[in-house]
Amino acid sequence: MRCRSCQQSAGLLRRLCADCQRVFALYDRERGELGLSQFLDRLIVDGVPRAKIEAALAIDLDGRGALQDKITADMANRVLADLGHAPRHNAADVKRMREQGGGLATTTRPSGDAAPPKGRT
């Protein structure tokens, strides 16, 4: 069968190849403990090919969000918890923010902002 994450051969009756399985296993084991870059570093050190890591991060296997969004949500919740707030982020929120990201975080100034001072001649 083909791996549902990276589409390479996964072996007989397997949903995921061994490499992608390691990506998801690491997430299950370290959930909330690793940020996205630490997560990547751990897998690269473990010898998981980068293309497979990226495929596994981007795919939404269980319909509850892509791994990359789950990790970001976990870290946001962790920060909130450290500040004494209840967790309130989930992968769907992160996905929405990521997809809207370009419009919200713009570097162009809105028109009318910081117009030159008036009345000076």
- Write down the least CB distance from residue 56 to Zn ion, Å: 7
| Cα–Cα distance for residue pair 93/1, rounded to 1 Å | 33
Q: What gap in Å lies between CA 87 and CA 57, rounded to an integer?
A: 22
- Which pair of tokens denotes residue 17? 């190849």
Q: How far is the CB of 32 from Zn ion (least distance, A)?
A: 24
Residue 43 amino acid letter: L
14, 20, 62, 77: which one binds Zn ion (CB under 5 A)? 20
Q: Which stretch binds Zn ion (CB under 5 A): 19-27, 41-49, 74-82, 96-104?
A: 19-27
Q: Of 17-25, 30-38, 75-83, 99-107, which segment contacts Zn ion by CB under 5 A?
A: 17-25
Neighbours of 80 (CB within 10 A): 14
Stretch touching Zn ion by CB under 5 A, among 6-14, 31-39, 41-49, 81-89: 6-14
Q: Residues 40, 21, 5, CA angle at the centre, nearest 5°?
A: 85
Binding site for Zn ion (CB under 5 A): 3, 5-6, 17, 20
